[in-house]
Amino acid sequence: MAKNKSKKGNKGNKKNKSETPKIERNWEELGLMMGLEIHQQLNTKHKLFCPCSTELIDDEFDDGIIRNLRPTQSELGQIDRAALQESLRDMTFKYESFNNHTCLVETDDEPPHALNREALDICITIASLLNMKMVDEFHTMRKQVIDGSNTGGFQRTGLAATDGYLDTPYGRVAIESLGLEEDAARRIDSDDEFTEFRLDRLGIPLAEITTDPSMHHPEQIKEVAYMIGQVLRSTNVKRGIGTIRQDVNISITRGARVEIKGVQDLDLMPEIVEREVQRQLALADIKDELIKRDASVEDTIYDLDEVFKDTSSKILSSAKCIKGIILRGFDGLIGKEIQPGRRFGTELSSYAKKMGVSGLFHTDELPAYGIQEDEVNDMKEFLKIGPQDAIIIVAHDEDVAVNALNEVIRRAHMAFDGVVEETRKALDDGNTEYMRPLPTANRMYLET
C-alpha cells in the first residue's frame, strides 16, 4: 500500500533533487494526438429546462431525496460500458434541495420545460466567434450518467453547432462541435452509506466545445485551451472557480485514447500530457514483457485467512476476511513505476477501490505493513506459486473483497492489451487516476 507523493516543480533554474528528470521525447514519432473538451457555465437568469435560479446556494438545505440509479439500453438496444460499470458499485445517492431555488424538474419528477432561449442565444454568439455552422434544429438527447450527478440517471444535451476552427500559433485547430447541455449536481459528501449531492448546480446551462484530435505537442494543448477560454470570456458566461472545466483526450501509437477529466490549471496541462504518455509507454512495455514471459491471470479467488491467522499486521488482523489471487508471470511488473510515485499496482488498486476497499497488497512490495517475511513465504507455499508469479491480497468484508479482486482480475487481463481506453481524473501533481471505462455511443438516447 505505497502512498503517492506529490512532486511540485520549482520555478527558475534551481532543480529539486527529488524531481523526476524530464525526458525529451519526439512527439511526432510517438504519434501523439490530443483533443480538448471545454465545459463552460453560461450566465443566464434561469436553468436550461426550468425557471430556477442559476446561483449556487451555501445555506442549509430544506429537503432531500434518495435514489438508486440503474443503466438502461440506448436507442440501439445496447448498455453503455461506463454506465454498467458504475451500476456494479450499487451506490445510494442523497440529494439536497431548496424550497425557493430548486423544483421538480431537477428531481426528475416533472417533465422539462421549454429550452432556455437566452442560453441558445449565447451559444449562437460562441459559434459565430469560433467560425461554426449552427444546426437547423436543436434536438435534445439524453446522455446516460449514473454516477449520481444527475437525479434521473441522464444528462440532457443537444448539438448546437459544428465545423468551426480556431487559428493558433501552432496552426489551425478544428472545432468539431458545440453542445448545449445541463450541468451536473454538486458532490458534497460521501460515506459508506450515501454519496450526497446538492441540486443547485444541476441544470445550469453549459456550453461544451469539442476540438478534433489535431494537437501534437504538450504546449499546444495549453495554448488552445487558453485561446478558447478567451473567446468564451468575451461572451455572457459565468466566471470563477468551477465555472469552466477542461477535459483532455490523449492517445499515442502504442497506446489508446484516454480522456482525462477535470484539468483546472492550464499551466499543468503539458505536465499531465507528458505523464500520460509516460504511463502509456510503460503499460505498453509491461504488455510486451507479459507476452514474452507467457504470463497468465488465474480467475480463482483464494481464502488466505488460515495463512494469516496469527499475523501482527493490524490491517489484516482487523479484517473480516483475507482473499488473494495469483498473477502468473507478473513478478516485478506490479511494482514497475508508470508515473512519478505511481506503479502498475496503483492501477490495479484504483479498480479495486471502486468496489469499496481502501487498497490492496502485492508481493512486489512485501514484506511490509506488518506482514512478515515468513508469512509471505507461507502464502507463496500455500498457493504453490513460481518465482515469476505474483499475489494480490485484499482484506475486507467478504463480498467487498471478492468484488474488488474480480475487478483486479479484469484489469490484469487487460494488461495483455497494453493501454486501456479509460476516463481518468486529473490529480494536482500532474498524474492521473482511473475513474471509469471510456463511454460509448450506447449511452445516448432520445429525450421523451
- The better pLDDT of the pair 146, 258 is held by 258
Helix H or strand E encompassing 168: strand 154-168
Q: Where are the domains of the chain?
A: 27-251, 289-419
* pLDDT the model gives residue 18: 38
Q: How many CB atoms lie within 10 A of CB 73?
A: 12
Mean per-residue pLDDT for 71-75?
76
Mean per-residue pLDDT for 257-270?
95
- pLDDT band at residue 310 under the 50/70/90 scheme: very high
Fold topology of 289-419: Gyrase A; domain 2 (3.30.1360)
- The better pLDDT of the pair 77, 102 is held by 102
Contacts of 249 (CB under 8 A, 6+ apart): 34, 35, 36, 37, 213, 257, 258, 259, 260
Q: Report d(CA 286, CA 278) in Å as an integer.
A: 12
- The answer to whether the beta carbons of residues 251 and 33 sit under 8 Å apart is yes
- pLDDT band at residue 85 under the 50/70/90 scheme: confident
DSSP state of 49: S
Q: Is the pLDDT of residue 1 over 90?
A: no
Q: Is the pLDDT of residue 433 over 60?
A: yes
* 421 grid coordinates: 481506453
Q: Express each pLDDT in 192-204 by its tens digit.
A: 778 999 999 999 9
Q: Express each pLDDT in 178-233 by its tens digit.
A: 999 999 999 999 887 789 999 999 999 999 999 999 999 999 999 999 999 999 99
Output the pTM of the full model: 0.88
* pLDDT the model gives residue 9: 39
Q: Report d(CA 324, CA 95) in Å as an integer.
A: 37
Phi, psi of 357 (to 5 degrees): -85, 160
